A = this chain, B = another copy of it.
Amino acid sequence: MASTDNDRRPKYQKIADSLREAIQSGEYGSGDRLPGENELMATHGVARMTARQALSVLKDEGIAESRKGAGVFVRDFRPLRRRGIQRLSQEQWGNGRSIWSADIENRTLEVDQVRVSEEAAPEHVGLVLDLADDDSVCVRRRRFVLDGKPVLLATSYLPTSVVAGSAITQENTGPGGTYARLAELGYKPVHFREEIRSRMPTREEAAQLSISAGTPVILVCRTAFADDGRPVEINEMTLDAASYILEYDFDA
């Protein structure tokens, strides 16, 4: 897509484009150090500001990152592949496996923070779950850490009337997790809807996910439906966009 035929690109843009191509072609690999400002000045005969701007372009795109005192490096982008449909198949949670285990291949994805509480339902949650004004919800807030880096915040809402007294109200929901427990309670999830958006993180999200500058978040809002069409869970997830590829496989 690089418009190599366009000679009217500003100098910093040309340098950024050629570095990007070198990264995409594999000349610079994940974690490699890119040429610094001095090298770019010498190679391209440009001023320091131009060299700096070129590197900024790649940092803004999330392709490269500065490391203090060491230079600018190709960002280590080894995302999780999150298979949207397979991971939620009943074969997964119906056999006592965590749905998260489907994502991770040979890597370590851990929950490092869990908070479970009973709260008044936020308005948009109450509307979707079709709750009365004074119905409360069980709120499960979790943070997931991959290879030591926080990658995902998940906040799950379930009607208290459905989950009261079950392991869903505990930090550890047991084998197969929330969906296996919902099935035991007579609310087996049979259908899911996932809505995906993307935006820049709030400062709080950026802090909780240790997100580098110039990296957006992906928001996934999932609704789980029981057999009678009743929505039984809303799960609002905030993903570090540099850590995830979402995949959906389906027939025509």
Residues of A within 8 A of B (CB): 1-3, 13, 20, 57, 60-62, 79, 84-85, 88-90, 155, 179, 188-204, 214-218, 241-242, 244-252
Contact = CB atoms under 8 A, between A and B. Distances in A.
A239 to B, nearest CB: 9
A218 B198 contact: yes
Given A61-B200, A62-B199, A200-B215, 5 more contacts: A84-B250, A88-B252, A191-B250, A197-B246, A200-B214
A62 B200 contact: yes
Nearest to A89: B252
Contacts of A251: 190-192
Given A155-B1, A202-B61, A203-B57, A197 B248 contact: no
B200 A246 contact: no
Nearest to A12: B203
13 contacts: A57-B202, A84-B248, A84-B250, A89-B252, A193-B249, A195-B246, A196-B218, A197-B244, A197-B246, A198-B216, A198-B218, A200-B216, A216-B216
A196 B245 contact: yes
Contact of A85 (B3, B200, B248): B248
From A85, A202, A244, name the one whose CB has the most chain B CB atoms within 10 angstroms.
Answer: A202
B196 A196 contact: yes
Nearest to A238: B1
A84 B197 CA distance: 13
Contacts of A3: 204
B90 A195 contact: no
A250 B90 CA distance: 12
A190 B249 CA distance: 11
A246 B202 CA distance: 21
Contacts of A204: 1-3
Given A1-B204, A3-B204, A204-B1, A192 B250 contact: yes
Contacts of A79: 197
